[in-house]
Amino acid sequence: MMAALETVFRNARLTDGTLVHIGVRGGRITGIASAEATAPVAAGVVEVGGRLLLPGLVEGHIHLDTSFYGDSWQPYRPCRDGFDVRERVAIQMENLARAAPMEERACHQLELCIGHGTTAMRSHVMISAEVGLRHLEVILAVREAFREIIDLQLVAFPQSGIISNPGAAKLLDEAVCLGCDVVGGLDPATFDNDLDGHLDVVFGIAERRGVPIDIHLHDHGTLGAYEIEQIAARTSASGLQGRVAISHAYALGDMTAPQQQKLGDTLALAGVAIMTNAPGNHAFPPVALLRKAGVTVFSGSDNIRDSWWPYGDGDMIRRANMIGYRSGFFEDHELVMAFDLVTTGGATALGLADYGLAEGCKADFVILDAAHVPEAVAGVPGNRSVYKGGRLVAENGRLPARPA
């Protein structure tokens, strides 16, 4: 480990239980040495004291522009007849019309997530003929304000469809040019009733602009499975392996194990990732089976206290706990698997460079009271210290100050 470091984190416990000193300079890890060795000289010293040091948490799917967190309570309004995505979108628009300013709500939500340990995030931002690029312009400004304390990817999300929302295709393309990192989609066969037309637009933008894809897919059963197959086929044909994600993919939870295995093999071969937040009222993708097949699986909070449901606390360790609970994960290796969805799995799906606890990686850490990862997932400990680039950005759930 090199001398003249900016900071050394002394006596940090890694996930394998070893105690180490971690040197940081220029926001990156410069070296990791056994705690039995003498700690290197540094301008600043953080005494970790044997607490567990984990890589920064990855929030892989959230909606910063539509949350009411930090605003007045918004009671959930049910759809008239069961659940209908189009009606739910209409309710959302009515609620947003009387909500607090978007910038304020988005900042509150970011502070919540960062306070729990999130250092990288992917947020979907509504793009439609009705709202144009207004949501994106606000969230771009918020991203700039928070750029020193969180890595924030934005998805151009066609909340009101593409084919059925005239002008949306052009707006999606403009959104990517304006600063969106990813192009999104939404239930191509049911919301737009045009699977090929919808995917033509999404994949066309991705290929033309060189950006990844993240498609919301709520459709169940045989239709949802067919859409997944078509997205995988398009991914392979366009050479976008490793750059396409399907969010939710509820259909994967409706199948028999042999059907799940077959589709899991297809997804792995095409390099399509799956995002699940393990929602309580839906079947959801089989995490262990997909991972064994070689599929990248990651997670996110999705909606936090918005028009879709009143739940969500922005804590990705609690999300790992929920995924483990709903998946029937009991053994230590299964709890570690659940944790991977909110760390390494998320980093892989988002294409994050230099992520992890190794020399040269970004010094993004969460420090908390647990002996190991299984205990952290089962117990969801608080009292966390969050570091971004080796700099303390949150303590016990609070940021020292909101970025200007």
149 within domain boundaries: yes
Q: Lowest mean pLDDT: which of 211-220, 307-316, 349-358?
A: 307-316
| Partner residues linked to 214 by β-bridges | 184, 245
Q: Are residues 114 and 220 in the same domain?
A: yes
CATH number, domain of 31, equals 2.30.40.10
403 within domain boundaries: no
Q: Are residues 22 and 116 in the same domain?
A: no
Taking alpha carbons only, the member of 229, 224, 245 closest to residue 300 is 245
Question: In total, how many domains does the chain have?
Answer: 2
| pLDDT tier for residue 82 given thresholds of 50, 70 and 90 | low
Average pLDDT over residues 212-237: 97
Cα–Cα distance measured from residue 243 to residue 271, given in angstroms and rounded to the nearest whole number: 7
Q: Are residues 23 and 93 in the same domain?
A: no
Q: Are residues 42 and 75 in the same domain?
A: no
3-class state of residue 376 by DSSP: helix
402 within domain boundaries: no
Amino acid identity of residue 42, one-letter, is A
Q: Are residues 26 and 122 in the same domain?
A: no
Interval 118-171: pLDDT, tens: 999 999 999 999 999 999 999 999 999 999 999 999 999 999 999 999 999 999
- Which residues neighbour 333 within 8 Å (Cβ) at sequence distance 6 or greater? none
The encoded tokens of residue 92 equal 């959302």
Cα–Cα distance measured from residue 125 to residue 236, given in angstroms and rounded to the nearest whole number: 26
What percent of the chain is predicted at pLDDT more than 70? 99
CA atoms within 13 A on the CB side of 300: 27
Q: Are residues 169 and 317 in the same domain?
A: yes
| Partner residues linked to 44 by β-bridges | 7
Q: SS3 sequence, 146-214?
A: CCCCCEEEEEEECCCCCCCCCCHHHHHHHHHHHCCCEEEEECCCCCCCCHHHHHHHHHHHHHHHCCCEE
Cα distances (Å, whole numbers) of residue 176 to 133, 172, 242, 244: 11, 6, 19, 16
Cα–Cα distance measured from residue 243 to residue 210, given in angstroms and rounded to the nearest whole number: 10
Taking alpha carbons only, the member of 214, 280, 293 closest to residue 249 is 214
| pLDDT tier for residue 280 given thresholds of 50, 70 and 90 | confident
Q: Are residues 227 and 321 in the same domain?
A: yes
Cα–Cα distance measured from residue 205 to residue 33, given in angstroms and rounded to the nearest whole number: 46
Q: Are residues 144 and 215 in the same domain?
A: yes
Taking alpha carbons only, the member of 351, 359, 394, 366 closest to residue 151 is 351
Q: Are residues 274 and 254 in the same domain?
A: yes
Q: Are residues 360 and 343 in the same domain?
A: no
Pair 340, 323: CB distance under 8 Å: no
Pair 113, 314: CB distance under 8 Å: yes
In this structure, is the dihedral angle defined by the CA atoms of residues 41, 45, 49 and 53, taken in order, positive or negative? negative
Which residue is listed with tokens 């045009």?
194
Cα–Cα distance measured from residue 269 to residue 8, given in angstroms and rounded to the nearest whole number: 42
Range of the domain at 291: 57-350
Q: Lowest mean pLDDT: which of 153-157, 277-281, 294-298?
A: 277-281
The pTM score is: 0.96
Inform me whether the pLDDT recorded for 1 exceeds 80.
Answer: no
Cα–Cα distance measured from residue 33 to residue 21, given in angstroms and rounded to the nearest whole number: 5
Cα–Cα distance measured from residue 245 to residue 242, given in angstroms and rounded to the nearest whole number: 8
Cα–Cα distance measured from residue 310 to residue 312, given in angstroms and rounded to the nearest whole number: 7
**Interstrand relation of 213-217 and 182-186 (parallel, antiparallel or unpaired):** parallel
404 within domain boundaries: no
| pLDDT tier for residue 4 given thresholds of 50, 70 and 90 | low
Inform me whether the pLDDT recorded for 384 exceeds 70.
Answer: yes
Q: Are residues 307 and 195 in the same domain?
A: yes
Q: Are residues 72 and 107 in the same domain?
A: yes
Taking alpha carbons only, the member of 229, 164, 237, 175 closest to residue 203 is 237
Predicted local confidence at residue 2, as pLDDT: 44
User: What phi, psi does 59 have (nearest 5°)?
Assistant: -90, 105
1 or 51, higher pLDDT: 51
| pLDDT tier for residue 85 given thresholds of 50, 70 and 90 | confident
